[in-house]
Homo-oligomer: A and B are copies of this chain.
């Protein structure tokens, strides 16, 4: 008996969130329950609003409250420059950096024999359509530096080879602020092969 049915159900659902275990779920629930009007209800309402409005952008595949999403609909974004990412989380990371002036394509995964993700499971149709309809200058492949990410990048490069657009990949190497002695061999090899005149 921990606060009765409603409270127990709240803790149980909270503990299923990534990053929250049973212990932190209880702590979060307690914080919310102490301020039902100012903290719990607003969060419930924000969740309901998001659940009602969230949709997948039919252009780039991201999650947004509108379709086309706020990025694809933004007239200030460069539609000639498309950055291909694996997940919505990757898109958000790039958006936080404010470094990419173009639009995106969210694949929703990478090719992986292990997890059974094939070409048909990736959201690439709208990318090909955008490329085919013209106006796209460059496709930046910003996929993870994993075997699956590299495989997917190769495959996309192949599919875009005859389209006439420039296909680039993000650089791999020593992270800025990173010390060399903590890096794995793969990153060191990538950094060495990506060396430039100083």
Q: With contacts A62-B3, A65-B5 known, is A36 near B50, CB below 8 A?
A: yes
Residues of chain B within 8 A of A87, CB atoms compared:
30
Q: Which B residue sits closest to A87, measured CB to CB?
A: B30
Q: Copy number of this protein in the oligomer?
A: 2
- A34-79 at interface with B (beta carbon < 8 Å): 34, 36-37, 39-54, 62-66, 69-71, 74
Residues of chain B within 8 A of A44, CB atoms compared:
44-45, 47-48, 51
Interface core residue of A39, A50, A51, A52 (most chain B CB under 10 Å): A50
Q: Mark A19-45, 1 if CB is under 8 A from B, else 0.
A: 110001011111111101101111111
Interface size class of A (residues with CB under 8 A): 35 or more
**A182 proximal to B (CB < 8 A):** no
Q: Which B residue sits closest to A24, measured CB to CB?
A: B19
List the one stretch of A9-17, A112-120, A121-129, A173-181 in contact with chain B: A9-17
Select A10's contact among B16, B17, B47, B64, beta carbons within 8 Å.
B47
**A164 proximal to B (CB < 8 A):** no
Docked-complex contact A50 and B88, CB < 8 angstroms: no
Docked-complex contact B28 and A64, CB < 8 angstroms: no
Q: Which 8 A-B pairs have the closest CB atoms?
A: A4-B65, A19-B24, A44-B47, A40-B51, A36-B51, A44-B48, A17-B28, A6-B50
